[in-house]
Chains A and B, each alone.
Chain A
Amino acid sequence: MNNVIEISGLRKQYKNFLLNNISFSVPGGFVCGFIGENGAGKTTTLKLILGMVMKDGGSIKLFGKPADDVSLKEDIGVLFEQPYYQEDWTPVDIEKAMRPFYKKWSNTAFHQYLERFSLDPKQKYKTMSRGMKMKLGMAVTLAHDAKLLLLDEPTSGLDPVGRDEMLEILRDYMVEEDRTIFFSTHITSDLEKIADYITYIKNGRILYSGLKDELIEKYCLIRGGIGDLPQSKRKQVLGLREYPGGFDAMIEMKDIAGFPGSVITETVSLDDIMVRMSKEVEE
């Protein structure tokens, strides 16, 4: 399996933030979710991948080549919270502006996607809803047949219907072979629907990078009453919450033995993992 993105020892120092020697890779042909709270370093990492900010150390490889080779961007589609187009541009203007930069640009494909996404080619960008803007960004990305999609919070600010539509578009995108999505978000429920891999970043450090199912199967939630948490188990639980009636916490499956029968176990969601791990790191 070839890695489409390989990041090694990446470092970026800001006044109040440090991206601290992060390393991870994104395998080709999969959807990889990049999760973390606001300010954890997701956007900074994406900007470093794209060369929007200068790295202080480490290396970034895209498709096996150093990321500073700009020709690699022929195969990359980028969507941040919303596409960066001029307010008074129409999709036709955007087509004219973007077409010359991509060898593989297809006008036919662009117009087909506009039609499929119900976008008027003559509607001004500023009059479009957020959902329409994102669809337009996807039409541009698909028109130049990008092999790698870098998405930064593409569903934030969309209503549930808009989010579902966006996820459907991403699912369709993945139907063709050799396509990869690196999807940064703090809305983890979206990733539960489509991601194969997860990279979790917290305060500029990578806490986990691997298969989503492995991560979810690795942990479970436990709930119990007062006195159901043995002293010996306290060190093994993550994100412990104690309240007058009992406790709840997350624990690795391998440590589940040793609790009284009254303790209830539940499967975890990515949200649970993020919240509990975050609590643990802070403590």
Chain B
Amino acid sequence: MIKRMAIFDWNAMKCFHMRVFLLPVISLAAGFITALLVVPTNVFMFLFFSINTFAVEEKGDLNKLYLTLPIKRSSVVAGRYVLSICMGLFGLVTGIPLAILADRFSLSHYYGPLGWFLPVVTISYLLFSIFNLCMFPILFKLGYSKGKFWGMLVPISLFAVLYGVWVIISSLPGNEYLLFNALEYASKNMFLVNGGIIAVATLILLFSFFLSKKLYSNRDF
């Protein structure tokens, strides 16, 4: 049922399908500073794209349709998470070749070994989980119209601020090697850093899912 719900949600977003091709363009633009930002941006953009399920659900009153189907409310939530995670994974996988492409024109080129790229991937997963927690439970509780300020606009602004702060901090005198040093540390402590990030991100994602499930189970339509 969860897989069916994920497919149903994807089909419900039919009117948005063409826009998915815009996402890599935005991610490539983010790589103008450094290619290392492409993967997290791409993951975030695909997560953000998956929010469209909430928009179409409200526009077409799909919640009412879901509740006429022989499925549990928890399957609706799980299906939405599966779709979102699949899109995040797609963002991650497509983000890697995009990052290689972006490195050709970015201001700060990536010279590190391939192994240094792993923390970028795990941090992208952490960002995915954090923003998922910021967005999904609120949208499941309030719906798209009422929840889009706290569940969409605030997280997007937060992401933009994070991006700006990183650009500023890494541009300050003395911080030229900040990213280099961080990646080197991560590569030397591969298990601790990446394992820790993956564990924390998974816990956040699970918390987000159970919170959404709880909030959606009591919602009146």
Contact = CB atoms under 8 A, between A and B. Distances in A.
A103 B64 CA distance: 20
Given A70-B70, A96-B11, A97-B11, A54 B62 contact: no
Interface stretch (B53-61, B100-108, B142-150, B173-181): B53-61
B221 interface: yes
Interface in A54-98: 54, 70-74, 76, 78, 80, 83-89, 93, 96-98
B14 A88 contact: yes
Which residue, A70, A83, A102, has most C-beta atoms of chain B within 10 A? A70
Contacts of B12: 86, 97
Interface in B137-160: none
A87 B62 CA distance: 11
Which residue, B1, B8, B62, B67, has most C-beta atoms of chain A within 10 A? B67
Contact of B67 (A50, A98, A102): A50
Contacts, number: 66
A82 to B, nearest CB: 9
B72 A70 contact: yes
B188 interface: no
A269 B1 CA distance: 47
Contacts of A96: 11
Contact of B218 (A54, A78, A83, A87): A54
Given A52-B220, A70-B72, A87 B65 contact: no
A96 B14 CA distance: 13
Nearest to B72: A70
A70 B60 CA distance: 22
B45 to A, nearest CB: 23
A78 B68 contact: yes
A53 B64 CA distance: 10
Nearest to A101: B69
A47 B65 contact: no
A85 B65 contact: yes
A150 B1 CA distance: 23
Contacts of B8: 97, 100
B152 to A, nearest CB: 20
A39 interface: no
A246 interface: no
A181 B47 CA distance: 43
B11 A70 contact: no
A87 B60 contact: yes
Given A47-B221, A52-B220, A101-B4, A72 B14 contact: no
B218 A71 contact: no
A93 B221 contact: no
Interface in A216-266: none
B70 A71 contact: yes
B62 A86 contact: yes
Interface of B: 1, 4, 7-8, 11-12, 14-15, 56, 59-65, 67-73, 218, 220-221
17 contacts: A50-B68, A51-B67, A51-B73, A52-B67, A52-B220, A52-B221, A53-B220, A54-B220, A70-B72, A71-B70, A85-B65, A86-B12, A86-B56, A89-B14, A100-B7, A101-B70, A101-B71
